[in-house]
Amino acid sequence: MGKNFVEELKWRGMLHDSMPGVEEHLDEAMRSAYVGFDPTADSLHIGNLVPIMLLAHYQRCGHKPVALVGGATGMIGDPSGKSSERNLLDEKTLRHNQEAIKKQLSHFLDFDSNDANAAVLVNNYDWMKEFSFLEFIRDVGKHITVNYMMAKDSVKNRISGETSNDGMSFTEFTYQLVQGYDFLHLYRDNDCTIQMGGSDQWGNITTGTELIRRIGGGKGFAITCPLITKSDGSKFGKSEGGNVWLDAKRTSPYKFYQYWLNSSDEDAQKYIKIFTFLSEDEINSLISEHSEAPHLRTLQKRLAQEITMMVHSHEDFENAEKASNILFSKSFKEDIKTLNETLFLDVFEGVPQAEISKADFDEGLDMIGALAAKTNFLKSNGEARRALKENSVSVNKAKVKEDYKLSSEDLINDKYIILNKGKRNTYIIKIV
């Protein structure tokens, strides 16, 4: 076998809880373990990265990872940590989402090798769709008592109304049985003896181990990882625009890179262990290098680099890095012209913009027009004159005087001009 998986999780801060005996179980032979992913979108987001990394480390330690797409459970909705029921999906959407998720997982897991521990993707819809309700309550339901199900935190919290006004539907109540049955099915058909997930999944996972014991007459194990939190108390994996997705169309590689780059020192030190494959020695030397000169943000830069290259590509990382440094670049004007329009707009998202028609621009646009008369960036022509006299106005980061006329030479991507007043105020003119 390769490295010791449980030891690997421990030093990386990725182990929350595990069932007694799991380490010995892993030492004896190559084992299969699964993690479930919710297919309600055609992309995973960075909240899914911890379980993905669990599977990736598992495979690197010589064991066999099974990624389960919850086509059936996605139709029901998991009550853990949720305050309301979710939308139900049709089969065509589920299949599309499943393919998209497999493609993302293949950045981390090897599905294609001929090795015994090649990763496998399964969908619980495939074995649940033929299962009638009567068969399910007869063959599975009778083995688990209502008392046992009620004792789970995910159920208790919903029923006591802490997280919802409506209590909990029967559909959601049965969720742990359906998930538990998945574990039993994979135990029987795929010789899968371990289920992994976030610490909020412990109740659902142990229902599975209970079914394996009562129906399968065998032994299943649970391993959970901590739920990731941010040091400032805000929610991990969310930015102002909502989820940070792994799909470049939903979250651009530049914004993805920025999310990690903007981590606090404390978070970066935690994340670099969880979200990269760097060794313990490499990480320790990065941490000590960082602590000698925190302002250089060594940890954040390396974290952002590793994870952007993993989720996207080396080229995407280089573009994101270049775009991140561009505002401080000595050769700003040349560098900014190398960014494509999408990346340019990402960098300047939220900056005030004004549109000027091409006809007006071709007639000649002076600096008073650009700052005030035609754009209202500044409140008055007088304020624009003062700023120009104080030498605090620049066009594409080059200082200009009042007599400067804007021309096609100043255009970025043939349509944008960046104006600055002082260090703090940036404006964009768009020629339409």
DSSP string, 329-348: -TTHHHHHTTS-HHHHHHHT
Tell me if 361 sits within 8 A of 431, measured CB to CB: yes
- Positive or negative, the Cα torsion across 33, 37, 39, 42? negative
Strand order in the sheet with 120-123: 17-18, 221-225, 192-198, 32-37, 64-69, 120-123
What is the Cα gyration radius of the chain?
27
Instruction: Report pTM.
Output: 0.86
Tell me if 78 sits within 8 A of 17, measured CB to CB: no
Amino acid identity of 330? K
Rounded distance between C-alpha atoms, residue 349 and residue 242, angstroms: 15
Rounded distance between C-alpha atoms, residue 376 and residue 359, angstroms: 19
Instruction: Collapse the DSSP code of 424 into the 3-class scheme (helix H, G, I; strand E, B; otherwise coil) and give the result.
Output: coil
Tell me if 166 sits within 8 A of 138, measured CB to CB: no
Cβ neighbours of 249 (radius 10 Å): 8
Question: pLDDT per residue over 145-186, tens digit each?
Answer: 999 999 988 788 777 765 556 678 888 788 889 999 999 999
Task: Supply φ then ψ for residue 260, to 5 degrees.
Answer: -75, -35
Residue stretches of the chain with pLDDT short of 70: 1-2, 74-88, 161-166
pLDDT computed for residue 246 by the predictor: 97
